[in-house]
Amino acid sequence: MFSVYRGMPKEATYLICAAILPSVAYGMFYTDISYFLTAVQGVSYELMGVAITLMGVSTFVASIFLGIAADVYGRKKMLIAGNILASLILAVFALTTDPTLLLVAAILEGVSEAAVLASSSALLADKAENEKRNSAFSMYGFVQSIAFGLGSIVIPGMAVFEVFGFTKKESHILLYVVIALFSLASTLIMLKVSESKRLKKHSTGITSLLPRKSKAVLSKYVFAGAIIAFGAGMVVPLMTAWFSLRYGVSDIISGPVLGISSILIGAGTLVAPPLAKRLGIVKAIVVTQTASMVFMFATPLAPDFALASFVYSIRALLMNMASPLQQSMIMGLVAEDERGAASGLSGALWRLPNALSTFIGAWLMGLGLLAEPFFVAGLFYIVSIALFWGFFRKTRMPEEQPR
């Protein structure tokens, strides 16, 4: 089953390795930020929701322009700049409670995320080629999920600082800063990757830089993705806060549990390429996502934290195990010199609805409506999966064509 991972190109391997430490940082940040800002820093739920929403809005705006810029000026340069900025912003979030600074940091975090989104997938597709593209994206997703999970699991590591006399708040801050430094160090691996040779030529017209050759397939892909993103935003970024409200569980417990969920997702992504080879890439995506819906609706009905976390983890596994296949699919379908713009646009039109619905989810939870976000999110998921199947059920990837 794992023979598909043999012979991975060297530079694709560098990109996969370079994703480890930033993913640990993202894992800790996105798992803990809703709890950290409210329970540790004393920020209101409304301000926390606005900050997370601003991250998504700024990602949306910046992704469009940075995706185009990556195709023209260099995908490697964009990836490195994004990683450096993201690492610095992580430390800023830990070191301030000033509302204005928090909102500025949220905007810059979104810009850094846009830079990474707009360049990483395009660069990985360039280095892996069609023959190893699914395998490279699945291994990339595996590494990201495992590292993301480890980032959640290290949250209790703040206890090490408490042993030395630091307060709970100081321990949180120190952990954030240390993880930010590790993320910054991964830039050294990124420097080993050569710049992509498949870039657009400079042009005076902005419209000529948009992905015009790929607009038909890309518009369908981002439309289906935007709907599922809106549903996901209502619950996924808020799970530590939700566990706290629903079961009175702190991030020291819920963070590692969500980390284990990410590790399970990582293990699932390794199965995705063989599954795609057997069923076809589109059917493999639809089957796994559809199966996850049962667990989405069951999560808020669980009577205790143990069962809820188990059910949610199964939902996350089934929903996300084929995500690398989706990224690989769109990179294989769009024109090679439009991959950066396509990646930026798809990332932008995922993050905006995801961020907007996060505010709605946080607002509902603040009102004590803890089951409704899951039910509404599940309906959006079902609509998106049905549209994706309708749009792409007859699609055959280049590597699936008969030789």
DSSP three-state, residue 234: coil
Question: Token match 């195709």: residue?
Answer: 71
Cβ count near 131 (within 10 Å):
13
From residue 353, give the alpha-carbon distance in Å to each of 90, 218, 350.
23, 17, 6
Q: Which CATH superfamily is domain 2-192+210-396 in?
A: MFS general substrate transporter like domains (1.20.1250.20)
Q: What is the pLDDT of residue 3?
A: 65
Q: How is residue 39 annotated by DSSP? A: I
Domain spans in the chain, listed from the N-terminal domain onward: 2-192+210-396
Confidence of residue 402 (pLDDT cuts 50, 70, 90): low
Check residue 201 and report its DSSP letter.
P
Q: For residue 102, which amino acid is it?
A: L
- DSSP-derived letter for residue 37 is I
Quickly state the pLDDT bin for 180 (edges 50, 70, 90). Answer: very high
What's the rounded Cα separation, in Å, for the pair 185 and 32? 22
pLDDT tens per residue across span 198-256 = 666 555 455 555 667 778 888 899 899 999 999 999 998 888 889 989 999 887 788 78
Confidence class for position 375, pLDDT limits 50, 70, 90? very high
pLDDT tens per residue across span 279-335: 888 999 999 999 999 999 999 999 999 999 999 999 998 998 888 888 888 888 888
Q: What is the mean pLDDT of residues 155-183?
A: 87
User: Which pLDDT score, from 0 to 100, does residue 199 have?
Assistant: 65
The band of 401, judged by pLDDT with boundaries at 50, 70 and 90, is low
Q: Are the C-beta atoms of residues 401 and 241 closer than 8 Å to each other?
A: no
Confidence of residue 191 (pLDDT cuts 50, 70, 90): very high
pLDDT in the model for residue 208: 54
For residues 121 and 67, is the Cβ–Cβ distance under 8 A?
A: no
Tell me the CA distances in angstroms from 357 to 140, 299, 350, 380, one per residue in order.
27, 19, 11, 11
What pLDDT does residue 374 have?
Answer: 94
Residue pointed to by tokens 């209502």 = 234
The pLDDT of residue 1: 55
The amino acid occupying position 6 is R
Tell me the average pLDDT across 52-68.
82
Query: Does the pLDDT of residue 130 top 80, yes or no?
Result: no
CA distances 54 to 36, 58, 99, 357, 386, Å, are: 17, 6, 13, 12, 29
